[in-house]
Amino acid sequence: MGRKVSRRDFLKGSAAAGATLVAQPWSFVFPENVLAADSDAPVTYGYSFCDMCNTVPKCGVKATIQDNKIIKVESRENYPNSPLCSKGIASLQELYDPHRLLYPMKRTTPKGSSDPGWERITWDEALKTIAENLNKIKKEYGAEKVMFYAGDPKEGRPAIRRLAYTFGSPNYGCESSTCAKAPQLTTQIVYGRPTMGSAPSDKTKVCLIWSSNPAHSGPYGFHKLLASKEKGVKFIVVDPKVTPTVSSLADIHLQLRPGSDGALALGFAHVIIRDGLYDKEFVENWTHGFEEYAEYVKEFTPEKVEEITRVPASLIEEAAILWATDRPSTWIGSACGTAHSSNSHNNHRAIVSLIGLVGNYDVEGAVTMPTESISFNDSATTAFLREADLFPKIKDKRVDTDYFPVWAEIENTIQANRLVEYVDTGAIRAMVMVGGNAMMWPQSQLYQKAIEKMDFSVAADYYIRPWTHNFMDMVLPAAMCYERMAALGNFGRTIYLREPIVEPAGEARSDWRTCFEIGNALGFTKEFWGGGEKCEEEGIKEVLRTLNVPVTIDDLRAHPEGFNIPTEGPPKFKKYELGLLRKDGKPGFQTPSGKMEFTSSLCEKHGFDALPVYKEPLESPVTTPDLAKEYPLILNTGARLPFYTHSKLRDLPWLNQFMPEPVVFLNPKDAEERGLKKGDSVEISTQHGSVIMTAGITNIVMPGVIDVYHGWAKANINLIVPRHFDPILGFPAFKEGLCQVKKA
């Protein structure tokens, strides 16, 4: 260490000599350079990117390092995603959290015991046990019986997916099948390519943010939206809540009843078509099913839509006309807001149809597609993932095809939300998981049981998370972002290599290395570079080798500020006219009809509505009025908080101070009717059960709706949500159940 007196010694001393210290405070000169005040160790700086939330790519971190320890972190300048938010700064506290998992652990009691009896084992034993179990299941039942799953953070995805396909299982899934795949697959179904929207550019006049709160879900980009507003971009924000995005940006706020998004979008279309404001040239030449769509939206008059959504008809008119006339206008979609509905796909399809309707697709300043994109796929490449060579040979063994045929036809990762059924039918018997928490699923206790029922399951994580891991056989310690290399950070045509800047804590390993070591232990030595300390770097080299641009790891090392690969020409727009959106190079879209689809050929093929038909939530005051008498409030869960990510980060003191206990937010009217005051302990009940939370009372929540954050181990709201799935793509209805709140 090179220090004469360690500060830990000092602290021990100070605690013992507390009485002396009162009279004679510790001598301390301030201000001085506190970092190097009495240490011989030099201060250096390291650069990394954060992994605390679910955004990809991540925000840049500059770390101050001394004695192989990070003593400070701050926003990395000149990095695409910056500044860091509260979670990013608190990554330092997670790095040195004494509760982190540092060694492989195996359970020593039978499944079902209240205490798993975790016992430390060596990595060698862990890998040997995993390989024996997986190979046994493969031999007896088939490789497809093993599910591979990536939770959050997402950086482990490419490695575990490569592992799945190499092992012979097509059943790799990730947490995006609960959320972000909704906008991605829906836009793919309508336009042939996935998109979650585009931020405003200099040409943009209007920005429509639909059920998203980027102020909290992507703080690093919020200043850019604020700057767009200062430059004159008009914002329409759709949200049941008066979020900071609404209060900072919205020129028009459409405050709708949760779950009624589809009706609102169809109301937009009604106004736009009624007034002849749609892009006739685009509609005529590049779209499919417009006449049926135009006929269908006739019934969605602003007055009717007001009745359904609670948004005033005059505001619907105003917003629709602004969206259609002040072009180019762009759209920013949500990874979850519209996904979490029993009519998720059709609601979302109604929303994204508005882009093409007014000719806002791939027009400069509107929703654009990249012109010359680097062939990254899930932060790696299709070749690296073995998606092109191995997956097609095994895809008929995927477990989700019968449940979600539309999904299975266009998406190679599986829809994992039916895990309970997959296990109950014996289709899945084991699981390898990186990150992940069973709390993320509706009626999560069923998923705990499903995991427990498996022949074998293992997870890698930063912590032992009892809610999930106590039902598993083994947990492996994962290295944090500062301790690991992969994956790459890629922003358009700029790539960042992350090198570890401190040694991993204990025996923690990166998810990439863990997956490669498992692959190696399973006998795929060549495919996983023999495991070992260097295998992660070999993996990165393989990704780079199979990209469509020439770049090596040495290039990246030589450019810590980001390696930029220039484009051959300026960005092109209206690429559907240029034959740049289809695999065959012909003009049009990569859809069955070759056009943007107002009526979906794919949905129709599988027996679903071709039109984006609006259906009421399966539970709602309209659909189930009797249920609504007993449970009159709409249970809206999962809206983002700026300081927690799903079930994570609850135990970091820097963050926990902002919401130490689970809170349910109610409108003052609803609180008053129930005699509730802020801080009261309240019971939230549904027909599926109840949880206890603390009441928060706020006008930013609509009357008749309650707002609950998810992921509290002590009050998991997902225990009591309905287990409804959108029939087409399978997203859970986290934002539309019915409930009651009363004093506990």
Partner 1 sequence: MAKLAMLFDLTKCAGCYGCVVACKMQNGTRPGINYNAVNVLEWGEYPKANQKFLSTLCMHCENPACVEICPTGASYKTENGTVLVDYEKCIGCGLCVNECPYEQRHLVEDDITSFPGVVAPYEEESVKRLKVVEKCTFCNERISEGLKPACVHNCPGKCRIFGDVEDPESEISKYIASHNAINIEGTSIYYVIPENMDRDLLPLAAVMSASASAKPAESKSSVGKYAVPAGIAVAGVAAVAVGVGISRKKSSKGGDNDNE
**Closest approach of partner 1 to the CB of residue 242, in Å:** 5
Q: What is the DSSP letter of 11?
A: H
The nearer residue to partner 1, 248 or 301, going by C-beta atoms, is: 248
Q: Tell me if 242 contacts partner 1 by CB under 8 A.
A: yes
Check: CB of residue 29 under 8 Å from CB of residue 67: no
Q: Which amino acid is at 445?
A: Q
Cis peptide before 219, with omega less than 30 degrees from 0? no
User: Binding to partner 1 (CB under 8 A): which residues in 85-104?
Assistant: 85-86, 88-90, 92-93, 96-99
Interacting residue with partner 1 among 128, 136, 223, 743 (CB under 8 A):
223
**Closest approach of partner 1 to the CB of residue 48, in Å:** 15
The nearer residue to partner 1, 43 or 580, going by C-beta atoms, is: 43
Q: Tell me if 44 contacts partner 1 by CB under 8 A.
A: no
The nearer residue to partner 1, 87 or 348, going by C-beta atoms, is: 87
Single out the segment in contact with partner 1 by CB under 8 A; choices: 213-221, 361-369, 389-397, 441-449.
Answer: 213-221
> Which residues, 6 or more positions from 33, have their beta carbon under 8 angstroms from its beta carbon?
none
Check: CB of residue 682 under 8 Å from CB of residue 744: yes
- Alpha-carbon distance of 496 to 50, in angstroms, equals 13
Helix (H) or strand (E) holding 325: helix 313-325
Interacting residue with partner 1 among 44, 69, 120, 554 (CB under 8 A):
69
Q: Tell me if 110 contacts partner 1 by CB under 8 A.
A: no
Check: CB of residue 664 under 8 Å from CB of residue 682: yes
462: its two tokens: 């930063």
Check: CB of residue 305 under 8 Å from CB of residue 343: no
Q: Tell me if 139 contacts partner 1 by CB under 8 A.
A: no
**Closest approach of partner 1 to the CB of residue 616, in Å:** 22
Q: What is the DSSP letter of 417?
A: G
Q: Tell me if 120 contacts partner 1 by CB under 8 A.
A: no
**x/- track of binding to partner 1 for residues 169-208 (CB under 8 A):** ----------------------------------------
Q: What is the DSSP letter of 76?
A: P
Interacting residue with partner 1 among 2, 4, 5, 30 (CB under 8 A):
30
**Closest approach of partner 1 to the CB of residue 306, in Å:** 12
Number of residues binding to partner 1, judged by CB under 8 A: 82
Check: CB of residue 375 under 8 Å from CB of residue 550: no
Single out the segment in contact with partner 1 by CB under 8 A; choices: 73-81, 279-287, 450-458, 462-470.
Answer: 73-81
Neighbours of 565 (CB within 10 A): 16
**Closest approach of partner 1 to the CB of residue 700, in Å:** 5
Q: Tell me if 694 contacts partner 1 by CB under 8 A.
A: yes
The nearer residue to partner 1, 79 or 296, going by C-beta atoms, is: 79
**Closest approach of partner 1 to the CB of residue 151, in Å:** 24
Single out the segment in contact with partner 1 by CB under 8 A; choices: 135-143, 413-421, 628-636, 660-668.
Answer: 660-668
> Strand, coil or helix: what is 53?
coil
> Strand, coil or helix: what is 240?
coil
Q: DSSP string covering 539-577, please?
A: HHHHHHHTSSS---HHHHHH-TT-EE---SS-----HHH
Q: Tell me if 29 contacts partner 1 by CB under 8 A.
A: yes
**Closest approach of partner 1 to the CB of residue 516, in Å:** 30
The nearer residue to partner 1, 51 or 378, going by C-beta atoms, is: 51
Q: How far apart are the first and last CA of the chain?
A: 54
Residue among 485, 509, 482 at smallest CA distance from 497: 485
